[in-house]
Structure 1
Amino acid sequence: MIILGIDPGLNKTGIGILENKGSKFDCIGYSVIKNKQGIKPVDKIKNLVNKVEAFILKYKPVYAAVEDSFYSVNVKTAIGLGVARGAIIATLLSKGVSVHQFTALQIKKAVVGYGKADKNQVKKMVEIQLGITLDGVLNDASDALACAICLGVFLNGRLHDKLY
């Protein structure tokens, strides 16, 4: 079963694609969708939707995990993140993908075992669990892979009680 993990953002969105093979995950791929600075927000949304749709059509995921935001210091950033998340979720649902949302705390708990792990710890555990190296890869991509791992663990029933 193919799982898509998404770390949303209006300027940068991480995408991670895993194949869930029971208790093991294979990394199919990862990417970061980047929007150019200075373009209109509506054009950023259009680009984001088109790229997410392309990933859906190419990999045909059954499930997707989208990182849920729980706070933002900057109101403008929070609104942009909310718009990006909404566009991504609507795109996934329109293509028949089952969508799950997890907070950063839940993702870190599932991947690292500690909800307050830093980004480097998350990246290292993603590398270990997937048997890959992510040197030079943006954190958006490793966070998306972590999100996908979290969903896989959840679907396999190994951490249901511990995530909540």
Structure 2
Amino acid sequence: MRILGIDPGLQATGFGVIDTDGPRMAYVASGTIRTSPADGALLPQRLGVIFEGISEVVQRYQPTVAVCEIVFVNVNPQATLMLGQARGCCLTALVANGLTVAEYTALQLKKAVTGHGKAHKDQVQEMVRRLLDLPGLPGKDAADALGLCITHAQVARTSAAINQVSKLQARTHAAYKAGRSY
């Protein structure tokens, strides 16, 4: 299975791609799609850059499934709305390219990758580096996207094991502590 992870953001949208075969995970690619109001681009143009960037990643790496971070509400409502628009753009790009999308929170990602839901960004970066045997630390946004891939690989493997031993099919909707899969 090839998994594409997306860490949505209006200024920096991280992406990561891994291949999985059972418990083995292999790094394929990662990076960041950047937009800036300093370039004179208005919100619709910036969302267009994100949409096109994700579409290009999907076409280049041909993932079989995608995973996107569920964003949290922060103190600034305007920032939350902007982040929500960027996330909606990411989801639209993934679905428009025919991918099934699973969703996990940052807490779920941190718990799956580091074992602690309150881990710092640098801890996530280091664990992603170790788990994927990377020569150096990925960028913060790319590390989160790769962490989402790792989280989904673990959940998918567990769901497959449950399906093998049970006559009842495991639900993939909200199967991982309020995570979503559609």
Please confirm whether the aligned pair reaches a TM-score higher than 0.5, indicating the same fold. Answer: yes
Higher relative contact order (CA 8 A, sep 6+): 1
Q: Which structure 2 residues correspond to residues 22-37 of structure 1 after superposition, within 5 A? A: 22-37=22-37
Q: 1:157 to 1:23 in 2, by over 3 A?
A: same
1:3 corresponds in structure 2 to 3
Whether the 8 Å CA contact 1:109–1:163 is kept in 2: the answer is: no
Q: Which structure 2 residues correspond to residues 125-140 of structure 1 after superposition, within 5 A? A: 125-135=127-137, 137-140=138-141
1:70 Cα offset (Å): 1.9
Paired letter, 2:56: A
Out of 67, 73, 76, the position equivalent to 1:74 is 76
1:56 corresponds in structure 2 to 58
User: Where does structure 2 lack aligned partners over 5 or more consecutive residues?
Assistant: 160-171, 178-182
1:163 Cα offset (Å): 4.0
TM-score (norm 2): 0.84
Partner of 1:27, secondary structure, is: strand
Out of 88, 91, 97, the position equivalent to 1:89 is 91
Name the larger-Rg structure. Answer: 2
Q: Which structure 2 residues correspond to residues 7-26 of structure 1 after superposition, within 5 A? A: 7-26=7-26
Paired letter, 1:48: I
Partner of 1:70, secondary structure, is: coil
2:146 corresponds in structure 1 to 145
Whether the 8 Å CA contact 2:125–2:139 is kept in 1: the answer is: no
2:42 corresponds in structure 1 to 40
1:157 matches 2:158 = yes
User: Where does structure 1 lack aligned partners over 5 or more consecutive residues?
Assistant: none
Partner of 2:124, secondary structure, is: helix
Whether the 8 Å CA contact 1:18–1:29 is kept in 2: the answer is: yes
For 1:157 and 1:142, the matched residues in 2 are separated by 23
Q: 1:113 to 1:140 in 2, by over 3 A?
A: same
Whether the 8 Å CA contact 1:111–1:149 is kept in 2: the answer is: yes
For 2:115 and 2:65, the matched residues in 1 are separated by 23
1:162 Cα offset (Å): 9.3
Paired letter, 2:16: G
Paired letter, 1:145: L
TM-score (norm 1): 0.93
Q: How many residues align?
A: 163
1:102 corresponds in structure 2 to 104
Q: Segments of 4+ in structure 1 off by > 6 A?
A: none
